[in-house]
Amino acid sequence: MQPISAVPEVEIVVVNPLVVKIKTAARMMGITSQTIYDWLRDGKIKSVQVGQRHGIEVAELQRYINEHRSTEFVTPPDPEAVESHRALRAIGVKKQKARRAAADDA
């Protein structure tokens, strides 16, 4: 898997609208409208009023994406640690099954 930091800067290309509806912004970002509302409430992004409706400038979405891209490399877990975890989990499952069987016999 490619590290997140290897992803190039995001450039959103929109033919005309400089402001999009919140639902459209959510679709563009691949998130829910509720997340957009949360970001607005928390001040992470700003909205603009167009007539009686609120929208989000496309440039604001681009700014947010570029500011919050991870610059750290994602390191995969140590294979030995993963295998050790699986082995311990298997032992725990076996013990749990044995306890249940003993309780059913009682």
pLDDT per residue as tens digits for the range 54-91? 899 989 998 998 888 766 555 666 777 777 777 777 88
> Same domain for 25 and 67?
yes
> Same domain for 17 and 61?
yes
> Same domain for 106 and 60?
no
Count of structural domains within the chain: 2
At residue 44, the pLDDT reads 93
At residue 76, the pLDDT reads 64
Q: Is the pLDDT of residue 102 over 80?
A: yes
Q: Which two tokens stand for residue 44?
A: 């992470």
> Same domain for 6 and 40?
yes
Higher-confidence residue of 66 and 9: namely 66
Q: Is the pLDDT of residue 13 over 70?
A: no
Q: How far apart are the first and last CA of the chain?
A: 50
> Same domain for 53 and 96?
no
> Same domain for 50 and 85?
no
How far apart CA 42 and CA 37 sit, in angstroms, is 9
Q: What percentage of the chain has pLDDT greater than the value 70?
A: 75
**Domain of 24?**
1-75
> Same domain for 24 and 9?
yes
Domain of 14, CATH number, reads 1.10.1660
How much helix, strand and coil, in percent to the nearest 5, is found in the chain? Answer: 55, 10, 35
Higher-confidence residue of 3 and 100: namely 100
